[in-house]
Structure 1
Amino acid sequence: MLVRPLAAVSVFALASCTTTQTPLSNLFEGDPETAVEALNRYYETIPASELPVAPEGVPLPADDAVLTRILVASCNDEEKDSPTLAQLGKEDADLFLMIGDNVYGDRDGRDYAVNDVELTELRESFADLAASPVFQAVRAKFPMMVAWDDHDMGENDGGRDFPFKGLAERVHETFWGLADEDVGQWPGTYYARSFGPEGQRTQIIMLDTRFFRSDLTPTDEYNAPGKERYMPAPEGSLQDMLGAAQWTWLENQLQDPADIRLIVSSIQVMPTVHGWEAWSTLPAERQRLFDLVKSTDAKGVVLLSGDRHSGYIYEEADVLPYEANELTASSLNVSFAKELAEMDERQIGAAFPPENYGEVEIDWAGRKLSLQLKDANGQVVRQNDVDFADIGLE
């Protein structure tokens, strides 16, 4: 894949000496005020033809299509075989949500990339995913919606201060065919789609928990249980998870007509017992999300997440006007353990760290849905059945 390191060096020169003529300065009106602005101007000159593209996929379901089975998965290392993704490909489903760490584009093996201005590794990772026969088969079978997480963006645990996120967004949206969609017209990778008639309408809301997210509060006791990497931000901290524009957009989405609303967050929302990345590291933002569901009177909200390299199911009363539920499906092929002792008070059953994927089954006639975790053989290993009445639906 073609990259242009000398051009990138010129961009940094442009940023550091804004009154000096440089090879790219004649392409724009005025000089950039920051190195990031200079980078973003340079990134706009990279032709789309130099960015990887996924194999042609199946169109999304029709607007009036009734969804009954939705697959969910995260954490897929494109450099490794993925038999669990192959097993997922044997399922029958209306939609597949690939919800983060769809590639590991910030590292080569276990060595994390540093100052990769051109995001060479990220672009190569997406190209490798496109070339995977297993992924090609899945892509050809299921309509897909996607979210990104840190390894899709190009920096482990990265957030709004990642300087190369402008190019990462272009890579993501170009690869998944989103560049010409609504999401391609605004900063960040969030978007939503709805399917089905009134009374059977499912809304899928794909959040971006990376592009706008504030820095997290580092742990004061590395690897201590509950404080492994981060701690909750102190009360009164200036913190942000979604950014002002995305928060406003989400408020509008929650007021659109829908029955079931699946809100996809690449990182976990409900649990609070661990010190890895999660909404619990920004507790005011976590509460803001719950309060927004309340204030918009949005019924039928169910949370979907990934990232943790383990599967979980959660249920909690009182944080929403009805029962809150979350399914964490992770990972497809980056499992680090067979068992975990982690237990949150909201958690239903033990963690499931072997390779897994998730499924949401919606029984419109029976007025219930089922949140399921399936293992590498497609067997259900964790399950929570939820009556529509328990999530605010009459």
Structure 2
Amino acid sequence: MRATSKLFLVLLALASAPCPSWSSPGAVGVDATPQLVSRIAFGSCAKQGTPQPIWSAISEFDPHIFIWLGDNIYGDNKRPLRVFGKERTIGPWKNLPLFFASPEQELRERYRIQKSNPGYSNLRSRAQIIGTWDDHDFGLNDAGKEFSGKNISQKLMLEFLDESPDSPRFKQSGVYASYTYGPVGKQIKVILLDTRYHRDPIGSDGSILGEEQWAWLEKELYGPKTDITIIGSSIQVISNLSATTSPLFYMESWGRFPKERKRLFNLINQSKRNGIFFISGDVHFSEITRFDCATGYPLYDVTSSGITQSVENAVPLLSPLVRFLARVTPCTMRIYNSGCRYSSCIYGKPNFGAIEIDWDATPRRLRLETRDLEGKPVMGVNLSFSDLRNSESLSKSTVSKNCIFEADLPWILRRRLSILIFSFLGVSIVLLVLILCVAVWYLRRCLRKCKGGREKDEEKDFAMLRVVSFGRFRR
């Protein structure tokens, strides 16, 4: 009888013990009544110490979860742009890298500054914060597995995210993680990739994730099904603008590792998992892209960048030019619709991503969008859950719209931006030369005229002098 009573008391204590409301790598167990998640915000590229008014708009959106997608701080340092001198940082003759890493204490201080931002602190008090990293919080611009300070960076980033001390993320190689939210039948899975810790050099077409992370990702995709699966990548998955902006400038993306991207799409297709879409950051503008030929339904990638860093803020006087160039740059995967604020369907000012899910609608629906400093949508797409389900009846006419990668475009179309800019520069140089030639010709003509006038005046003076001299001689 005593044993039975003790067992009853133990079971009663276990039943009443609190469990985490969120499922994560560091959590043990799931709440008996998990919280329904219907609003998720995400963002990237926040330079600590810079004004960050966008947190007010994010808080007004009232997300249940906020997802960092990288460059959560700018932990590295940038040298001045110098073409000449002892410290040359640009040009083929440069002798110093433009970026260099910070010591641990400086990196820790930058995280402290970001974490103490009043707007961000307010959001932390009302939403679950999760995230991954990109290059600047990893420790060095465009860095990969070769970066020697990555283990220190990993520890500091996880502390910034308030990761549980016993989380596997502190022990594993990389910060990849997965989380499951919501009750059965209304579940969301968030998979956050690490595109830095194991990444091979750009241009090598090597690995982004590394074999250990690939094995983990396969297990996650083949795991228990959820209604929605969000895959967070710090760099863009679908768009590869470098294929159309080179040789002017380059951006990191999965498209610069074609074999890895193909492997990712194949894994998603083979898993037969429904409800997958991507979210990404890094590029300092927002856009929504779509690829129709990876699986039995379209894959979307919602890019939001950045919270402080944006292309139009970097060159505010040239905003109209930036928007024009964005419009003429070929992008085969970008979604163009009437919901875009600008005709390019790119937004180059501070922004954040927003996901809204209507669980009560029939059929269930979700909206993917990016929003501005005031929380107003700048682009978006409405989807029903059935749009993200494998379907054998997906028509070829629908599929063919978003199936050609930028790198596969005809050369003259792929290089349209470069041709346009170099043609403009060429015409400008020719016009400048013509203007200089006309100016020189006009100046020489003026000089000749002035010289001719002076000679005539001298002749008149000389003639007058002769007349006067002759008159005196006659006398």
Q: Same fold by TM-score, threshold 0.5 exceeded? A: yes
Please say if 1:297 is aligned against 2:265.
no
Residues 241 and 251 in structure 2, CA contact (< 8 A), matched pair in contact too:
no
Residue 424 of structure 2 is matched in structure 1 by none
Residue of structure 2 aligned with 1:348, choices 335, 348, 352: 335
User: Which residue does 2:134 correspond to in 1?
Assistant: 149
Q: Equivalences for 1:1-394 in 2 at 5 Å? A: 60=22, 64-107=34-77, 114=100, 116=102, 118-178=103-163, 179-217=165-203, 233=204, 237=205, 239-257=206-224, 258-274=226-242, 275-337=250-312, 338=319, 339=323, 340-341=326-327, 342-349=329-336, 350-366=345-361, 367-392=364-389
- Contact conserved, 2:101 with 2:140, CA < 8 A, in 1? no
* Higher gyration radius (CA): 2
Aligned partner letter, 1:191: A
1:263 shift after superposition: 0.2
In structure 1, stretches of 5+ residues that fail to align are 1-57, 218-232
Aligned CA-pair RMSD:
2.1
Q: Is the 8 A contact 1:126 1:175 kept in 2?
A: yes
How many angstroms does 1:115 deviate by? 5.2
Q: Distance in 1 between matches of 2:171 and 2:347?
A: 38
- 1:230 equivalent in structure 2: none
Q: CA deviation at 1:273?
A: 2.9
Provide the rounded CA distance (Å) in 1 between the counterparts of 2:73 and 2:21: 22
Q: Please list the CA deviations of residues 105-159 of structure 1 after superposition, one character each: whole Å capped at 9, or x if unmatched.
A: 112697965354x334322210111222122112112111111111111100111
What letter corresponds to residue 348 of structure 1 in structure 2?
I
Q: Deviations over 1:205-238 (max 9, x none)?
A: 0110000000002xxxxxxxxxxxxxxx5xxx5x
Q: 1:115 and 1:385, CA in 2 relative to 1: closer, same or farther beyond 3 A?
A: closer
Q: Shift in Å at residue 82 of structure 1?
A: 0.5
Alpha-carbon contact 1:113-1:121 (below 8 Å) kept: no
Q: What TM-score does the superposition give when structure 1 sets the normalisation length?
A: 0.76
Report what 2:431 is aligned to. Answer: none
Match of 2:156, SS? helix
Q: How far apart are the structure 2 equivalents of 1:82 and 1:265?
A: 23
C-alpha separation in 2, matches of 1:393 and 1:182: 33
Q: Which amino acid aligns with 1:103?
A: I
Letter in 2 for 1:106: D
Bigger mean CA deviation after superposition, 154-163 or 330-339: 330-339
Offset at 1:175?
Answer: 2.2
Partner of 1:55: none
Normalising by structure 2, we get a TM-score of 0.63
1:89 to partner: Cα distance: 2.1
Q: Distance in 1 between matches of 2:330 and 2:55?
A: 27
User: Distance between the aligned counterparts of 2:120 and 2:141, measured in 1?
Assistant: 23
Count of residue correspondences: 317
Percent of counterpart pairs with the same letter?
A: 30
How far has the Cα of 1:318 moved from its partner? 1.5
State the alpha-carbon separation in 1 of the partners of residues 56 and 261 from structure 2. 35
Q: How many angstroms does 1:93 deviate by?
A: 1.6
Instruction: Name the structure with the higher helix share.
Output: 2
Cα separation, 2, equivalents of 1:382 and 1:389 = 22
Aligned AA for 2:387? D
Deviations along 1:145-196, one digit per CA (max 9) or x if unpaired, are 1111111111001110001111111111222222421222211000001012
Greater shift after overlay, 87-96 or 147-156?
87-96
CA distance in 2, matches of 1:108, 1:128: 19
| Maintained 8 Å contact 2:274/2:390 | yes
SS of residue paired to 1:288 = helix
SS in 2 for 1:121: helix
Contact in 1 for aligned 2:307/2:352 (Cα 8 Å)? yes
Deviates more, 1:205-214 or 1:91-100: 91-100
Residue 187 of structure 2 aligns with an amino acid whose one-letter code is: R
Q: Deviations over 1:344-368 (max 9, x none)?
A: 1110131111111010111223322
Name the CA distance, whole Å, in 1 between partners of 2:62 and 2:387: 27
Find the aligned partners of 1:304 and 1:214 in 2 and give their Cα distance: 22
Distance 1:216 1:271 in 2: 16
Q: What stretches of structure 2 of length at least 5 have no aligned partner?
A: 1-19, 24-29, 82-97, 243-249, 313-318, 337-344, 392-475
